[in-house]
Amino acid sequence: MLSLELLFIPLFASLLILFAKGKAARALALVFTLIQLLVTGYAYTIYKANGGAAFEFTQAWVKSPVINIHFGVDGISLLMVMLTNLLLPLIVLSGFNREAKRPHIFYALMLFMQFALNGVFLSMDAFVYYIFWELALIPIYFIAFNWGDENRAKVTIKFFIYTLVGSLLMLFGFVFLYLSSPQHSLDWNTLTQFKTCSCNQTWLFWLLFAAFAIKIPIFPFHTWQPDTYKSAPTQGTMLLSGIMLKMGTYSLIKWLLPIVPDGFKEWQAVVITLSVIGIVYASIIAIMQTDLKRLFAYSSIAHVGLIAAGVFSFTQQGLQGSLAQMFAHGINVVGLFFCADIILSRTGTLQISNLGGIRNQNRLFSSLFLIVVLGSVALPLTNGFIGEFLLLYGVFEYNTWLSVFAGLTIILGAVYMLRMFQNVMSGPDSEHISSFPPLHWNEKLVLILIGGLIILTGVFPAPILELTQPAIDNLLK
């Protein structure tokens, strides 16, 4: 029943918030996301990391075709549920000093998206998983379309079409798997035990991989991402970058690897090469960016490219590092986009050339921003370090030369992130900045919590690694 609680708390909250008005809507959103976080914490404390599924719920839904509602978690999916329900209160709290138009709809959409995201990570039937995958697209589409900037219409339509095409390809793959399965079932346990012939896995791999690669995004499926991150409202960008892209990286491990292992082996070299190309390409483009949000968007492409490379190395270190880095990236990228939003709200610009000297006017913000930047560049004892170390180790085990190019993400990342920080925070006072007002209480709290998580999970990564290790061992077997 715990799986159902994790699902229906945000669903109930989203319906309730629709009837709230003004500040009551965001207050209710914060209360229910905190309740959801407490339930998630309880689930973590009682979960026994043995590699098997826990908190399972199974109920027959449709007799023909056979579709069962099946929820449950292992260490991999529980980590993603934890990330989702940890970030949502921070994302909601980040907007407490802003007055959003139609807040009851805005926060109801956010809680509905939390419901859909949890559904993706809890689902153990492919058809139910697909339903939640599509449901997660609906609220973020309306959030970006209604609360984005002046370019939101064109950008949001492009994002919607990209992801919808990928989703349909995945659906075709699942339909074929259902028809070819002797049991005529899309249950995860059935799909991972039944292996369709290698000739089918060749093209099945691409049907599933395309959907996941677009969501991540992996080069060259990435072209929707920078514009969408730039035009969406900050809280929408946080949802996209912090959690939604993890649907893709999670699905590589949970669904792609165990269902089409022969197709995975056949295309392993191609995908890991594309991932490494994406790392270098996105890092170089990030160096050239003059807008903060676009810089962070390309930085995200480079980081998730390394995560995908680690997954496709199919080594224990690569898989373990990918999960650790997914958790760390979610925290760091939310912190980066929140800092960009704080800068925009006080200066009216995100152009790096128009910024400078903020450190002289607000040392607290500068210090907290620095912690987020250092986590992003994987400084030792920050959360980004252990994940990137394991990822590069895993890629090195697969291919030495690819690991050399993948390692450029650390060097190039330090170049564009530290240069950005120097120009924005430590450079000479900009003529465009007359003052930089103090942080609001909610802004201080969010940044302090994010900074604390960056340091805490960097110094003590064992809880994350121990949670996922048994599930990874089962996958490798």
pLDDT per residue over 234-247, tens digit each? 888 899 888 988 99
d(CA 380, CA 105): 42
Residues 6+ apart with CB under 8 A from 426: 357, 359, 366
- Label residue 384 by pLDDT band (50, 70, 90): confident
Query: Which whole number is the average pLDDT over 45-72?
Result: 81
**pLDDT > 80? residue 444:** yes
**pLDDT > 80? residue 138:** yes
What is the per-residue pLDDT for 197?
63
What is the per-residue pLDDT for 83?
95
Domain residue ranges in the chain: 1-241, 260-477
What is the per-residue pLDDT for 432?
64
| Beta carbons of 191 and 224 less than 8 angstroms apart | no
Query: Which whole number is the average pLDDT over 93-115?
Result: 88
**pLDDT tens digits, 203-230:** 888 989 999 998 888 888 777 888 888 8
Q: Residue 424: what residue type?
A: V
What is the per-residue pLDDT for 477?
76
Enter the tokens of residue 220: 């060259």
Residue-by-residue DSSP string for 329-387? HHHHHHHHHHHHHHHHHHHS--BGGG---HHHH-HHHHHHHHHHHHHHTT-TTSHHHHH
- Label residue 199 by pLDDT band (50, 70, 90): low
SS3 217: coil
Closest by Cα among 332, 302, 322 to 395: 322
What is the per-residue pLDDT for 371?
94
**pLDDT tens digits, 403-431:** 888 888 888 888 889 899 988 888 666 66
- Label residue 346 by pLDDT band (50, 70, 90): confident
In terms of pTM, does the model score above 0.85? yes
Determine the straight-line distance between the first and last CA of the chain, rounded to whole angstroms: 30
Helical ranges in 348-362 per DSSP H = 358-361
What is the per-residue pLDDT for 368?
93
Query: Which whole number is the average pLDDT over 122-131?
Result: 92
Query: Which whole number is the average pLDDT over 261-286?
Result: 89
What is the per-residue pLDDT for 434?
67
What is the per-residue pLDDT for 198?
63
Enter the tokens of residue 415: 């170049």
**pLDDT tens digits, 73-93:** 988 999 999 999 999 999 999
What is the per-residue pLDDT for 431?
66
- Label residue 391 by pLDDT band (50, 70, 90): very high
d(CA 199, CA 207): 14
Closest by Cα among 337, 342, 339, 356 to 423: 356
Residues 6+ apart with CB under 8 A from 452: none
**pLDDT tens digits, 278-312:** 898 998 998 988 888 899 989 988 888 899 999 99
Average per-residue pLDDT for the chain: 87
Query: Which whole number is the average pLDDT over 99-114?
Result: 89
What is the per-residue pLDDT for 331?
94
What is the per-residue pLDDT for 54?
81
- Sign (positive/negative) of CA torsion 81, 376, 320, 297? positive
**pLDDT tens digits, 152-193:** 777 888 888 888 888 899 998 888 888 877 777 888 888 888
Query: Which whole number is the average pLDDT over 258-262?
Result: 88
